[in-house]
Amino acid sequence: MSETAGGPLTWERGPEAALLFSTARARMTSEHADRIRVAARKEMDWIHLIQLALQHETTALLYRNLQLVCPESVPPGVLEPLAARYEMQAAEALYRAKELVRILGALENQRIFAVAYKGPILLQRLYGDLSLREYSERSDLDIMIRGCDRARAQEVILNLGYRFIFLKMSEVDEFIRTHRELHFCRGGGDQRVLELQWRFMIRPGRIQQDPDRFLQRLETIPLAGTSVRSLSLETYFLVLSLHATKHKWRKLKLICDIAELLRSPDLDWEYVLREAADLGLRRILAIGVLLAEDPLGVAAPARFANRLKIDRTARVLAMECRQALLEEPDKSWRLEANYEFLLRTRERLRDRATIFLKDGFLPRITPDERDRRIVPIPESLSALYYFVRPVRMVWEKITERP
């Protein structure tokens, strides 16, 4: 990250990144088509470009837009494997859409309130084409329920032929005390993951009244020959911004979603602003707006952007995210929130204090099973484990191998 005296933050990108960013959009304008043509004529490491697209899960957009705008500028042997992958991803998307409809129907039959979000339903609603999103091995089907329905929903999913991932049945009750979702997959070598969730946000990014706050505005969306319940686009703007913040915006596809939302007509931006102000999320939304503008070239409506928290902190955080786009993400990006980054994204002191206390300080001093294994203490004296824990942690540090 660099900054000239009194000037804007800047970053550098190569020709491969420039073409990747130019093609990362579902709706093409003549201006962006010209950008693609200019970028594609430059000296290009096409293998590196494809590697970047795979990393950011935008190969479908890369192929579709190169094929649409300037196939003559692409060397032989580049579009063919991208076309094969595009067809494979389209078939996968259709399969996931049908499976999602099947699961939602089974939950509905048991009168369990369930909402699909992300995945096929987001593609249908926002992109209008199920084939325009990459599905990686870790891509999930996401279904949101209310916490009170968790046990019944879990039973329905198990009866559909799914099984728990990482958990035994005896471990579920303990697991859900500190987690917001259960992971399932089907047998027979099918490793597609289904996430059953009862909160949208992880603990460090927690929001009051989650999930009910985000389930107030719903829409019915046609999918795989039927209609399913999903979030409104206004709610998606809030939820997807929070979701991408959890992952520190490490995938370009996360920014693509925000960019497509910004280009959607007739969004109720006043509602988004009211919710963002009430929940303390204006800076988080501002980061997404800045990333949509650079590198994707999509500007937010002026009346919306002017009322966000686009301050120096938001600009610095957005710059950090931009630069990280061209780095190889570590293996934990998908599973773990960057605690320090999350803390900086919140503009209200009370939110930062809550995150620090509940998710930074208290977990460090709260006894866990490792402390209880050191010495058995009667339940009536369990508070003594708060003295055992620091001793155990110091001892582990001392005996830790370099």
pLDDT (0 to 100) of residue 309: 82
pLDDT (0 to 100) of residue 372: 74
pLDDT digits (tens, 9 = 90+) for 132-162: 988 765 568 999 999 999 999 999 999 999 9
Pair 273, 167 in one domain: no
Pair 309, 284 in one domain: yes
Pair 68, 105 in one domain: no
Pair 114, 207 in one domain: yes
Q: Alpha helices, DSSP H only, in 281-338?
A: 282-293, 302-305, 312-325
H/E stretch holding 335: none
Share of the chain above pLDDT 90, in %: 64
Checking if the pLDDT of 397 tops 90, the result is: no
Q: How far is residue 295's CA from residue 255's CA, in Å, rounded to a whole number?
A: 9
Pair 108, 218 in one domain: yes
pLDDT band at residue 360 using 50, 70 and 90 as cut-offs: low
Pair 189, 252 in one domain: no
pLDDT (0 to 100) of residue 1: 36
Checking if the pLDDT of 7 tops 60, the result is: no
Q: How far is residue 245's CA from residue 64's CA, in Å, rounded to a whole number?
A: 28
pLDDT (0 to 100) of residue 164: 93
Range of the domain at 272: 232-365
Checking if the pLDDT of 68 tops 60, the result is: yes
Report the CATH number at residue 170: 3.30.460.40
DSSP label at 329?
A: P
Q: How far is residue 273's CA from residue 287's CA, in Å, rounded to a whole number?
A: 14
* β partners of residue 9: 3
Q: How far is residue 356's CA from residue 13's CA, in Å, rounded to a whole number?
A: 35
Stretch 354-367: mean pLDDT: 69
pLDDT band at residue 239 using 50, 70 and 90 as cut-offs: very high
Stretch 238-262: mean pLDDT: 94
pLDDT band at residue 183 using 50, 70 and 90 as cut-offs: very high
What's the predicted TM-score (pTM) here? 0.86
Residue 200 identity (one-letter amino acid): F
Checking if the pLDDT of 4 tops 70, the result is: no
Residue 82 lies in a domain: no
Pair 43, 149 in one domain: no
Q: Say if CB 202 and CB 337 are below 8 A apart.
A: yes
